[in-house]
Structure 1
Amino acid sequence: MALLHIITPVKDSIDSTRQTIAAVSGSALDIPYSYRIFNDYSSEENTAILQQLSQEYAFELVNLKELTDHPSPNYRLTLQLSQERALAEDAYLLLIESDVVVKPDTLQKMYQWAQSQEKAGMVAAVTVDENGDINFPYLYAQKWSRRTHKTNKRLSFCCTLLTPAFLKAIDFHELDPEKNWYDVFISHQSCALGFDNFLMCDNTVLHKPHGSRPWKQLKYTHPLKYYWLKFTKGLDKI
């Protein structure tokens, strides 16, 4: 029985996903864990590559196309399935995006910190660029000291641990189906339910912002086009 369930949602972006999978699989964890990749309507070619990688790295591949006809993104369903598995085994749930590269000791540090805190709800590793500077989505923490901070600010799901106690207190089946992303809502709910959230500024992960969703780069390169797509096609709802 796993004590830690690790998941990575994937929609194509196969190059960054390879790096994520390799890094997670190389983690120095001293507890039983499972790793699932949620393939959210990647192309047939990339689905085949993910299947090959599942054999190489021994993770479980979940093809959401086989479970729902709802178009990508299917983050709500991914969260629901992951919560069900974690609750069934009284395990922690760790979400790692497919544009994040962890260090060998990243996940063990997150797990140990969560276990040491009686009221922990969520624990996140801060994201940095290749120069080691804190980057999106934690720009608000750029001037924080490099230690672990209790915070009421929102935690991204770039690399974030949810505790069994928090998972028992919230029902992901009640998430708004009209939204695409839920990290802001869920991190605020953790605080509202009386849990403590932590951002580990001394436990960094490499993040290439929006590498898992390339179209979102338009927010920085062509902002008018980004907001036109956001509002005319209903994309990126949080």
Structure 2
Amino acid sequence: MQAIVVTPVKNSLVSTLDTIGAIFESRGNFSYWVFNDYSTPHTKRGLEDAQSKLGFELVHLEDLTSNPSPNYKTVLQFSQKKAIEADVPLIIVESDVTVQPNTLQQLLLFAQSNPRIGMVGAITHDKDGNINFPYLKFKKYSSKASVKTDRSLSFCCTLISKDFLKKYDFSQLDKSRDWYDTHISRKSLELGFDNHVLMNLPVQHNPHGSRPWKQLKYKNPILYYFKKWFSGKDKI
């Protein structure tokens, strides 16, 4: 096995099945885990049907925690334990991302060639091949193969190295937060690791495909920030 690959899921079954299908078209030897975070019964049934056909590991987070969605902390802690036990990196591919057949292998090869790596992410594109959220700030580097960065990496399609996983215990993650990509990116740098974005390794990203309310950030930012700050949503 070369890596543990995980996908957290919250509804959006169509895009999730695209994500899962692309993972199974990937080159390499991976253990693949899908985490269903209190999705609808329709999504739950769809994931169980896909599991029976493809054979990935499916975890219903309702069996692990009574905490309401989102449960990214639980996913990260569970996945870190599995990766350390197997002595392999962890690759997160979110349910609104479609990888290419070589994506996972290229992440691994880059990490193996750069022993100081803490995290390395694939650049996100829209369906027309343009760099999109969350990596719009990297457009100016589009001619480069990779960018070493002190900016936060997204978990859209990101490898976390074995050495970093062993050095930072995810049980220390702040329970009051919902999302941890910014915190973990910063912790990687604090511990002396390097973070990179691979500009020549695009993945297709449908931003916030599983959480449509977050589209308000672009359509109605005032309402988005009202929900974020006053409704306790989207804590990073």
TM-score by length of 2: 0.97
What's the offset of the Cα at 1:134?
Answer: 0.7
Q: Residue 189 of structure 2 corresponds to which residue in structure 1?
A: 191
Structure 2 residue ranges without an equivalent (≥5): none
| CA deviation string 1:92-135 (max 9, x = no partner) | 10001100000011111110010011211111000011111111
How far residue 232 of structure 1 moved from its aligned partner, in angstroms, is 2.1
The count of residues paired between Structure 1 and Structure 2 equals 235
* 1:129 maps onto 2:118 in alignment: no
Match of 1:177 in 2: 175
Tell me if 1:65 matches 2:62: yes
2:108 counterpart residue number: 111
Q: Hey, what does 1:164 align to over in structure 2?
A: 162
Question: Could you tell me which residue of structure 1 aligns to residue 224 of structure 2?
Answer: 226
Quote the residue 2:135 is aligned against: 138
- Measure how far apart 1:146 and its partner are: 3.5
Q: Taking every aligned residue pair, what percent have the same amino acid on both sides?
A: 49
Alignment-derived partner of residue 151 in structure 1: 149
**Matched residues in 2 for 1:118 and 1:19: separation?**
32
Alignment-mate amino acid for residue 200 of structure 2: D
When normalised by structure 1's length, the TM-score is 0.97
Amino acid in the other structure paired with 1:4: A
Partner of 1:83: 80
| Aligned equivalent of 2:14 | 15
> What SS is found at the alignment partner of 2:140?
coil
Deviations along 1:40-87, whole A, 9 cap, x unmatched?
Answer: 000112101100011122111000011111000000010000000001
Partners of 2:89 and 2:15 in 1: how far apart?
25
Could you tell me which amino acid in structure 2 is paired with residue 219 of structure 1? K
Tell me the amino acid that sits aligned with residue 123 of structure 1. V
User: How far apart are the structure 2 equivalents of 1:231 and 1:109?
Assistant: 38
Q: Distance in 2 between matches of 1:207 and 1:3?
A: 24
User: What amino acid maps onto 2:186 in structure 1?
Assistant: H
Match of 1:142, SS state, is helix
Q: Structure 1: which 5+ residue stretches go unaligned?
A: none
Mapped to 2, the partners of 1:141 and 1:134 lie a distance apart of 8
